[in-house]
Structures are given as C-alpha cells and as structure tokens.
Amino acid sequence: MTALFYLGLVVALVGGIWLLVVTFKKSVWWGLGSLFIPLVGLIFVIMNWELTKKPFLIYLAGVVVTVIAAMNMPEIAAQMPV
C-alpha cells in the first residue's frame, strides 16, 4: 500500500506541475496568481477547461489514489480524525 501512496503522490505532482506550466503559458499573471492566491488555479481550470482538462484530471487521479492509499495504511489511518 505504501508504493501506491507514493505513486499517487508522484502522479499528483506531475499533474500539478503540468497544470502550472499550462497556466504560465496562458499568462504570467495567471501563473503567479495560481502559485500565490488560493482558488485562482481552480478558476483558471474552469475558465479554460479545454486547455486544462488532461493535467487537471491527472492531478485529481493522483490525489484520489493518494487519499485511498493513506486511508488503508494503518500508521496513517490511526492519525486521521473520524
């Protein structure tokens, strides 16, 4: 289960970096906003869905895999609030 956890982290990291690259290609201001202001990245994804569909879905898949793997790891699951 630990390998699945780290695989999910890597997939989420790749998707997140790809999404940031797409954001900076559109505009430096969008890129900086995505880095420093919460929810700007999500607004960018919604406004530019055709550009950001693949990297966002890859990022989301990585997050889902990471969360599911973490919930099934006893050393992490014991620390999670119920």
- The reported pLDDT for the residue numbered 64 is 97
- The reported pLDDT for the residue numbered 17 is 97
Task: Give the residue extent of every domain in the chain.
Answer: 2-75
Based on C-alpha coordinates, what's the Rg of the chain?
15
Q: What is the spatial distance between Cα 44 and Cα 1, in angstroms, rounded to a whole number?
A: 34
Per-residue pLDDT in tens (0 to 9) along the chain, 82 residues: 789 999 999 999 999 999 999 999 999 999 999 999 989 999 999 999 999 999 999 999 999 999 999 888 877 666 767 6
Q: What is the spatial distance between Cα 65 and Cα 42, in angstroms, rounded to a whole number?
A: 20
